[in-house]
Structure 1
Amino acid sequence: MINTYNESNLHATLKKIYALESNGRMEVQLDDTPWICDILDEDGNAIEIQTSNLSALTEKVQYILETGRKVKIVHPVAESKWIELYGRDGSLIYKKKSPKKATIFDSLRGMTQICPLFLHKNCTLEVLYCQITEMRRQTENPAQTQNLARRHLKNWLPLGKRLEKITKKEIYSKKDDWSKLIPETLRKNEDGSFPFFRKVDFEREIKKTWGSKNARWSGLLIWILVKMEILEITETKGRSKIYELKVES
């Protein structure tokens, strides 16, 4: 197949699942472009599996939408993760549970460019909460990854991720879906009016609703929701901005 030489086990597994579900064809060249679509379903619409930076799909998704096709972006996040470390001879050294639990908040940094496209009438983001196993190969000396992403070298290299189970699915296709990331206390007052709030209020309510780990992404979530025209800045007081849920006219 085209373009599968650098494909992870997780990506390949999800691609097969969605191709079967949609009766689609895998690895299809998009018209006369250099882009390869993960799946074209039986109606000619696109399904893209993106395991990391969602903004890497921006130009491709923009093109797909301009052709009139629908596009579904499938994005797995590791709700729970096991780590398997293998020796250089291929033997399993250990398997252990990672304490890290990812949510959609951990993916926000990769959405900054593509986020306005998520509200296009033909675009859907499907977030899959998964149990995965991350496989690693031990190295003799501290090593850099192929994409030079490591700030600190480690004594192992990644071998890929394996899907164990899909536990939950969240669909984001309209403003109401994204608005649910805003704590309920900041979406509407008891009298039905919309509350005004500052970043510090938003962070406090995110911490109460989604936990302190996700609260660190509060500022970025506000920035994205403003860019998507879900929140609006109603006033600026000194260094503080006042926000409100944007009312559709």
Structure 2
Amino acid sequence: MKVKFDIETIQKAIDSSPWFKDMPEQGRNQLARAAKIKQYAKKSYVFQNGDSDTDIYCVMSGRLRLGTTSSTGQEFTFTDYNQGSWFGEATLSIEEPRLFDVLVLETSIVLVIPRKDVLSVGEEFPTMYRHIFIDHTVKARGLYRLLEGILFYPLSARLAGRLLEQAQLHGVQTEQGVRLDISLSQSDFANLVMGSRPRVNKIFGQWRDKDIVVMEQGKYLIKNLAALEDELALIDE
């Protein structure tokens, strides 16, 4: 669903983008004029595997999830997109169907720019591609690291790593520890670490008994960050 957004807000999002930050004002203004704002309902998709979608996107508000689902229904999560996240850039280099799904976790407002408009601006200001390439490389390195963890790390280490990642993104410091200011189920964490829900539940139970991670008012509370970091440190010894 299309929604109205003032041009100043759209322009601010583009001006602050890591992709366009060094682009002359003329180019950024062209992108702002081409941009549209869409609202996506919870549990809908921005795009899915096999879609011929060719837009690029920025999350203005809400939360999205990049993942994939096997033919047997098994889900795996790569990463979440939060406010300020840009994605969809692969379409700028090759016009092929999407490989993954982007699921809407909560009602979200998303800025959308058509591929043709980005390419047009890129022809005039080709330095844009350098920043997109750098950002894409950072994302790729994160995915390689994630793949390494799945292949070689025990489940407890993968789960600790994902918790620490969420603490960096959504952690709120309290007197008791770091509370994740986001709703995540054990099924969500199972998808994040490529593990079964019963095994993830067992590890959370062990951490709860050791007062490392507990549930408080429906949110995860990390009471001992050092203990989670130790789970990762054991791998490097």
Q: Which TM-score bucket, shorter chain as reference? A: under 0.3
**Structure with greater proportional helix content:** 2
Could you state the TM-score of these two structures normalised by the residue count of structure 2?
A: 0.26
Max radius of gyration: which structure?
1
Q: Which has the higher contact order (CA 8 A, sep 6+)?
A: 2
**Structure with greater proportional strand content:** 1
